[in-house]
Amino acid sequence: MNRDIKFMNRCIELAASGLGFTAPNPLVGCVITHENEIIGEGYHHKFGKPHAEVNAINSVKTKKLLKNSTLYVTLEPCSHFGKTPPCADLIVKMGIPRVIIASKDPFRQVAGKGIEILKNAGVEVETGILKDEYEWLNRRYFTFYKKQRPYVILKWAQSSDGFIDIKRTADTPKITWITNETCRTLVHKWRSEEQAILIGTETVLNDNPELTVRRWNGKNPLRIVIDRNLTLLKKLKVFNDKAQTLVFTETDKSSIQNNIEYRTILFDDMLLKNILKELYKRNIQSIIIEGGAYTLNSFIRKNLWDEARVFTGDVVFSKGLHAPKMYITAHSTEMIFKNKMDIYYNIL
């Protein structure tokens, strides 16, 4: 058991390397051992590219050893033709006699079928090794299939006296920074790891954000704007050609114009649930909610969040727009120079 845990831990480490690149595919890592020594390993690098099992098998220099080896993989090998052929079939073809799996795949086109292929071919299969640890790493994927909505991350910065923004006047600068440069770079890293980012109308008007990845290497998320009455002007940065933008509006204007798509939606008590439902249909597995206060509080009130990342800067505003309140204890707290970062998880 200790040996299996050791090799599955390595699989989880490998799987984490794909964060931000594999969605809507899962994070998967794979290790192949022969006589308790690793002879091959791999992970899923990017959506549409070879899966972890394929990369691990290809990395084995002496293929004849596979017939007396054990394959460790974080997620049940796929059993269907998607962007790539079924991994379960490849494992059988290569004659690998033993497969250790952390978790079964919740995706309905797999969901036990990969394990069935292996067992029917006489492969010894074990499941559940470090299942919880892996499903936590891959929580976006599992939330998507189990709850049929994206994994929702709330993010905001607040002053030391609890304000998310200063009191706005005609002379107010467009952006009043609360956090330091390191924290702002971290936010761009986070953007590169998720598929979408959402803000409300007031935040667009007040800050004119671009919502792209500029301080980090990575892909831009889909920008999502809630603009009930289509009051936002096209010259704003969120509509530039740096990324795709999806606008939810009550105006009857469902259309696509270059990189901007308008989606008509009913602005009622079910608005947020319906937005998440629409994103689920679009295969969006994770989203960051970056503001403003009204939008963030709306997700909190509806209990439609999974994780919250809250910065507290060392600035004092004295008055302004109050930051959202979290009524649970932070899971972790970290100081980034003079700024505090609290991470919350929604245990409900």
For residues 213-223, b (16+ Cβ closer than 10 Å) or e, as one string?
A: beeeebbbbbb
3-state secondary structure of 33: strand
116 by Cβ neighbours in 10 Å (0-12 / 13-18 / 19+) ranks as: middle
**Cα–Cα distance measured from residue 203 to residue 18, given in angstroms and rounded to the nearest whole number:** 31
H or E segment and range at residue 29 = strand 29-34
**309 in Cβ contact with 154 (< 8 Å):** yes
Catalytic residue among 13, 35, 53, 250: 53
Q: Among residues 258, 249, 159, which one has the least CA distance to residue 204?
A: 249
53 noted as active-site residue: yes
106 by Cβ neighbours in 10 Å (0-12 / 13-18 / 19+) ranks as: middle
**138 in Cβ contact with 166 (< 8 Å):** no
**Which residues are tagged catalytic?**
53
